[in-house]
């Protein structure tokens, strides 16, 4: 009865109005898809399609236009990406093609896509630029474009390009911007400081989404760490973007310090976890200043949940951190606990 009353109480012609809206949307998408197809044909469609992943090429070959229209947005976006990438490979400006695509298929090629295409262009030009000041200007412009549309960026792709040009601080800046946009109320930090309660579903999701973002910062640290361990890195550093193993080590420490200088405690946690995984926790004692308060919190929490061998390492690091911070009484308590802990005698 209630359902019947709802239907009879609905505004007249509401179903018809909804159908017309759906039809309008369908026609608009059909026009966009046809317009995109026209542009692709003007740019050697077979070359663009050949650059798609094999499974997408097969899907494209087997699909009818109706199937592409109904559920082929993913393929269309891949074709758009391939088209723009062709301009970038040819060192051509993407401004013209981006403007055209925005006019013809604004749903498929969003403003964020156009912005990211321009940022990619600037990063490619910056990689080729030998003038340091002009190179830095291009990098900052590209970073600003990406930050402006964060988190609507292909973060792994953009960060890999930033790493390629050695713009490590840009990776941190972009990741922090994305994290702030997806979690403006800091629900992830509340979840972390509350010892990650299972009933806090929103905090749990926010925490893991932010940690996924910070993986890109850890990837930058990993790249520098591998480079610093590569003894052959000193033999070929003629490229404007190549760095020696010594410089990689310096840049790695600098990047750690930059991360810890920010007020993003979860970024700190991601960096701490990476350092501990590489047995580099002692590096935190040689930063030149007092370790951040977040380190004490992290070590205490991590030691509680870690297996015995790792917990011993974390507690050993904790008392040294406390000692360096001047909290001698707390350091003594940790040392006493270590001395009486099973397996340490």
What are 200's two structure tokens?
């806090």
How far is the C-alpha of 225 from the C-alpha of 240, rounded, in Å?
A: 20
Last residue of a domain, one of 278, 303, 332: 278
Within a domain: 254: yes
Within a domain: 250: yes
How far is the C-alpha of 122 from the C-alpha of 139, rounded, in Å?
A: 7
DSSP secondary-structure letter at 231?
Answer: G
**Taking a C-beta distance cutoff of 8 angstroms, is the pair 40, 52 a contact?**
no
pLDDT at 10: 53
Asked if residue 275 has a cis previous peptide bond (ω within 30° of 0), the answer is no
Q: What is the mean pLDDT of residues 47-66?
A: 87
In this structure, the answer to whether residues 268 and 327 fall within a common structural domain is no
In this structure, the answer to whether residues 267 and 333 fall within a common structural domain is no
In this structure, the answer to whether residues 300 and 274 fall within a common structural domain is no
**Taking a C-beta distance cutoff of 8 angstroms, is the pair 171, 217 a contact?**
yes
Within a domain: 122: no
Within a domain: 80: yes
Last residue of a domain, one of 109, 134, 163: 109
Most confident of 12-21, 55-64, 150-159: 150-159
- Going by pLDDT thresholds of 50, 70 and 90, the confidence category of residue 224 is very high
Contacts of 343 (CB under 8 A, 6+ apart): 308, 312
Q: What is the mean pLDDT of residues 207-211?
A: 98
In this structure, the answer to whether residues 92 and 172 fall within a common structural domain is no
pLDDT at 73: 80
In this structure, the answer to whether residues 265 and 155 fall within a common structural domain is yes
Q: What is the mean pLDDT of residues 97-111?
A: 93
**Taking a C-beta distance cutoff of 8 angstroms, is the pair 32, 110 a contact?**
no
Within a domain: 59: yes
Within a domain: 144: no
Q: What is the pLDDT of residues 164-177, one digit of tens each?
A: 999 999 999 999 99
Domains held by the chain: number: 3
Reference 152, options 117, 123, 124; nearest CA is 117
Q: Higher pLDDT residue, 111 or 237?
A: 111
In this structure, the answer to whether residues 181 and 266 fall within a common structural domain is yes
Within a domain: 2: no
Last residue of a domain, one of 109, 140, 165: 109
Q: Is the pLDDT of residue 180 over 80?
A: yes
How far is the C-alpha of 164 from the C-alpha of 142, rounded, in Å?
A: 14
In this structure, the answer to whether residues 78 and 40 fall within a common structural domain is yes
Q: Is the pLDDT of residue 124 over 70?
A: yes
State pTM to two decimals.
0.83
In this structure, the answer to whether residues 181 and 251 fall within a common structural domain is yes
Q: How many CB atoms lie within 10 A of CB 194?
A: 10
Q: Is the pLDDT of residue 68 over 50?
A: yes
Within a domain: 257: yes
Mean pLDDT computed over every residue of the chain: 88
Which residue range is the domain that position 69 belongs to?
32-109
pLDDT at 238: 45
Q: Is the pLDDT of residue 116 over 60?
A: yes
Q: What is the mean pLDDT of residues 270-290?
A: 87
Reference 79, options 136, 37, 114; nearest CA is 37
How far is the C-alpha of 136 from the C-alpha of 140, rounded, in Å?
A: 6
In this structure, the answer to whether residues 216 and 266 fall within a common structural domain is yes
Q: How many CB atoms lie within 10 A of CB 228?
A: 20
The burial of 286, by beta-carbon neighbours within 10 Å (0-12 exposed, 13-18 middle, 19 or more buried), is given as exposed
In this structure, the answer to whether residues 103 and 156 fall within a common structural domain is no
In this structure, the answer to whether residues 271 and 155 fall within a common structural domain is yes
Q: What is the mean pLDDT of residues 131-136?
A: 94
In this structure, the answer to whether residues 174 and 259 fall within a common structural domain is yes
- pLDDT more than 70, % of the chain: 91
- pLDDT more than 90, % of the chain: 61
């Amino acid at each position: 009865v209630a359902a019947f009353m709802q239907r009879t109480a609905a505004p007249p012609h509401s179903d018809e109005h909804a159908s017309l809206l759906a039809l309008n949307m369908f026609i608009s998408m059909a026009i966009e898809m046809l317009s995109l197809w026209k542009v692709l044909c003007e740019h050697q469609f077979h070359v663009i399609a050949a650059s798609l992943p094999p499974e997408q090429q097969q899907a494209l070959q087997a699909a009818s236009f109706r199937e592409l229209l109904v559920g082929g947005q993913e393929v269309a976006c891949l074709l758009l990406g391939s088209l723009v990438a062709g301009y970038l490979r040819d060192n051509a400006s993407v401004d013209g093609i981006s403007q055209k695509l925005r006019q013809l298929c604004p749903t498929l090629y969003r403003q964020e896509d156009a912005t990211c295409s321009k940022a990619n262009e600037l990063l490619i030009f910056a990689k080729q630029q030998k003038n340091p000041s002009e190179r830095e200007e291009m990098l900052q412009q590209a970073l600003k474009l990406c930050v402006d549309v964060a988190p609507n960026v292909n973060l792994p792709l953009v960060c890999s390009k930033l790493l390629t040009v050695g713009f490590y601080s840009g990776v941190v800046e972009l990741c922090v911007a994305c994290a702030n946009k997806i979690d403006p109320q800091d629900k992830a930090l509340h979840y972390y400081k509350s010892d990650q309660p299972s009933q806090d579903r929103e905090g749990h999701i926010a925490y893991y989404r932010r940690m996924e973002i910070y993986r890109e910062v850890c990837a930058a640290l990993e790249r520098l760490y591998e480079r610093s361990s590569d003894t052959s890195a000193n033999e070929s550093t003629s490229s404007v973007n190549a760095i020696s193993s010594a410089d990689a080590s310096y840049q790695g420490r600098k990047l750690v310090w930059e991360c810890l200088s920010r007020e993003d405690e979860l970024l700190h946690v991601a960096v701490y976890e990476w350092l501990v995984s590489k047995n580099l926790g002692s590096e935190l004692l040689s930063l030149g200043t007092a370790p951040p308060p977040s380190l004490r919190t992290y070590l205490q929490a991590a030691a509680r949940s870690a297996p015995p061998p790792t917990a011993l390492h974390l507690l050993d690091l904790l008392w040294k951190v406390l000692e360096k911070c001047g909290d001698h009484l707390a350091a003594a308590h940790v040392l006493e606990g270590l001395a009486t802990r099973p397996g340490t005698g």
